[in-house]
Amino acid sequence: MTGKATSEAPARGPGETASESADVGPPEPSGKVAAPESTGGDQAPKPQEPAPQAPAPAATKPAPPSEDVPSAPLLLAVEDVSESSVAVSWEPPERLGKLGFQGYVLELRREGASEWVPVNARPMMVTQQTVRNLALGDKFFVRVAAVNSAGSGPPAVLDQPVHIQETIEAPKIRVPRHLRQTYIRQVGETINLQIPFQGNPKPQASWTHNGHALDSQRVNVRTGDQDSILFIRSAQRSDSGCYELTAQLEGLEAKAAINVLVIEKPGCPGTIRLLDVWGCNAALEWTPPQDTGGTELLGYTVQKADKKTGQWFTVLERYHPTTCTVSDLIVGNSYSFRVFSENLCGLSESAAVTKELAHIQKTDTVAKPKSFVERDFSEAPSFTQPLADHTSTPGYSTQLFCSVRASPKPKIIWMKNKMDIQGDPRYRALSEQGVCTLEIRKPSPFDSGVYTCKAVNALGEAAVDCRLEVKGEG
């Protein structure tokens, strides 16, 4: 028996009469009396006495007993109200009556009117109903009654009228990502804060600077339907601080804070002093600048200049302490030093310069060479890589390799079968960086045998050998 229904608002005005719902009462008596039956056919008919008249029916219907009609529905409540509709719901009554249950009738009465106007022409078997096409600004009362064959029961009425009004959307402010951190601008640049917001109806937007009203001579504000823009054509250091946007709507409000920092180049450091000069080093000390430009310093830049050339060269960059030692100065030269301050805007316009020069003087030093014992690298020959046995094909040149280490450089002697082959045009011997190579040009089976490489110097000799096999054509 529960369900939902949607109906349009009745077209009647608040002063029009509602259609009456006929209550279905018990059947009325017909009011007729049956005539007595006739007896015998020969007897003359006796005059009939006038029949007694039936009692006249009552002028109005008797009210149905309270047990026959349903009781009032329970828990009538408003579920939702929009700009043009209202949804109400209720629970079935405790008693539906003895006769057949037909449904519910929902009625509206506009504020100031006396007539109740039914929303649905016939009872509906639902416990939730949405009334649409209502006019903005309407106020009306709502009641619902249960109906059965015996009639309509007592209605359930809302205590307060329903007001159809524009839906209120709480204001919201969406701060762009780049403004969620400190917004940094330089002196003279523009400040443009465009902050979107939401709300229905349009909320009232207002700005403050550090909790105070804006200076209308320097700050321009334009508020549209969906955003508010704060604009400063030429920023000054005094424009730094917290700008707060407030969106208000019928007791509801949203706030957003944007931190703005306006900076400029720092002042130059205070006095700089040359503390000491020793060897090729000079010690400096200076004081921090009085004005850092509205932001923290990134450090100091230290430069030096030779008196002869007058050209400045950077020694240290973004150096944080206020004392330093400049090293690797050239003997015989005189140097000046200067220091710049640095922040996000760059280096200071001017620098602190030392008044006196740092003279790097020559020192009378006598070089005392240390005694040096020359190491003897002499050694007898020794082969680090021996010869390897090799097989070759007739007519194709082949090479034998080995490596030797010795100091002084050894003499290399190649032999075949213990016979010296130096000077033979069929062989070419090479020795470079300790690598010994013997090239055999177009060998024949006759060139097969044992080859020996012998290294000789003043400290001794060493030899390695291998077997070369030149296979004849089969």
Query: How remote is the C-alpha of 239 from its chain's centroid?
Result: 29
pTM: 0.48
Confidence at residue 45, expressed as pLDDT on a 0 to 100 scale: 39
Closest CA to 86 of 191, 6, 197: 6
Confidence at residue 364, expressed as pLDDT on a 0 to 100 scale: 65
Arithmetic mean of pLDDT, 7-13: 57
Closest CA to 297 of 282, 281, 311, 286: 286
Which percentage of the chain shows pLDDT scores above 90? 46
pLDDT band at 93 (very low <50, low <70, confident <90, very high): confident
Question: What tokens does 131 get?
Answer: 């009334």
Q: Is the pLDDT of residue 102 over 90?
A: no
Which range of 30-34, 38-42, 159-163, 228-232 scores highest in mean pLDDT? It is: 228-232
pLDDT band at 4 (very low <50, low <70, confident <90, very high): low
Question: What tokens does 178 get?
Answer: 């780049």
Q: Is the pLDDT of residue 200 over 90?
A: no
Q: Is the pLDDT of residue 284 over 50?
A: yes
Which percentage of the chain shows pLDDT scores above 70? 85
Given strand 227-232, what is the order of strands in its sheet?
A: 169-173, 191-200, 227-232, 219-223
Can you state the percent helix, strand and coil of the chain, rounding each to 5? 0, 45, 50
pLDDT tens-digit series, residues 297-309: 999 999 999 999 9
SS3 state of residue 156? strand
Weakest mean pLDDT among 58-72, 137-151, 289-303, 342-356: 58-72
- Say how far apart CA 317 and CA 303 lie, in whole Å: 9
Q: How many residues does this entry show for the chain? A: 474
Confidence at residue 44, expressed as pLDDT on a 0 to 100 scale: 37
Arithmetic mean of pLDDT, 449-469: 93
Which range of 9-13, 127-131, 370-374 scores highest in mean pLDDT? It is: 127-131
Query: Hey, what amino acid is at 108?
Result: L
Q: Is the pLDDT of residue 255 over 50?
A: yes
Phi and psi of 179, rounded to 5°? -100, 0
Question: What tokens does 28 get?
Answer: 């009325």
Which of the 8 DSSP states describes residue 149? Answer: T
Q: Is the pLDDT of residue 146 over 50?
A: yes
Q: Is the pLDDT of residue 50 over 70?
A: no
Weakest mean pLDDT among 13-27, 112-126, 224-238, 309-323: 13-27
Q: Which residues contact 205 (CB under 8 A, 6 or more apart)?
A: 197, 223, 228, 245, 246, 247
Weakest mean pLDDT among 10-24, 98-112, 119-133, 154-168: 10-24
Q: Is the pLDDT of residue 48 over 80?
A: no
DSSP bridge partners of 105: 145
Arithmetic mean of pLDDT, 351-359: 93
pLDDT band at 148 (very low <50, low <70, confident <90, very high): confident
SS3 state of residue 177? helix
Which of the 8 DSSP states describes residue 295? Answer: S
Please, are residues 146 and 153 in contact by the beta-carbon 8 Å criterion?
Answer: yes
Weakest mean pLDDT among 78-92, 357-371, 378-392: 357-371
Please, are residues 150 and 99 in contact by the beta-carbon 8 Å criterion?
Answer: yes
Confidence at residue 413, expressed as pLDDT on a 0 to 100 scale: 92
Q: Average per-residue pLDDT in the chain?
A: 83
Arithmetic mean of pLDDT, 412-434: 90
Confidence at residue 193, expressed as pLDDT on a 0 to 100 scale: 94
SS3 state of residue 353? strand
Please, are residues 430 and 439 in contact by the beta-carbon 8 Å criterion?
Answer: yes
Instruction: Scan for tokens 């709300």, then name that residue.
Output: 199
- Say how far apart CA 128 and CA 112 lie, in whole Å: 26
How many Cβ atoms from other residues are within 10 Å of residue 285's Cβ? 15
Residue, of 42 and 364, whose pLDDT is higher: 364
SS3 state of residue 113? coil
Confidence at residue 381, expressed as pLDDT on a 0 to 100 scale: 93
Cis link prior to 408 (omega < 30° from 0)? Answer: yes
Domains of the chain: 77-164 (2.60.40.10), 169-263 (2.60.40.10), 271-377 (2.60.40.10), 380-470 (2.60.40.10)
Weakest mean pLDDT among 20-29, 105-114, 137-146, 370-379: 20-29
Q: Which residues contact 347 (CB under 8 A, 6 or more apart)?
A: 265, 301, 340, 341
Cis link prior to 201 (omega < 30° from 0)? Answer: yes
Weakest mean pLDDT among 31-45, 150-164, 346-360: 31-45
Q: Is the pLDDT of residue 13 over 80?
A: no
Which of the 8 DSSP states describes residue 235? Answer: -
Q: Is the pLDDT of residue 153 over 90?
A: no
- Under the phi-then-psi rule, with left for phi > 0, alpha for psi from -120 to 50, and beta for the rest, what region is 210? left
Residue, of 94 and 14, whose pLDDT is higher: 94
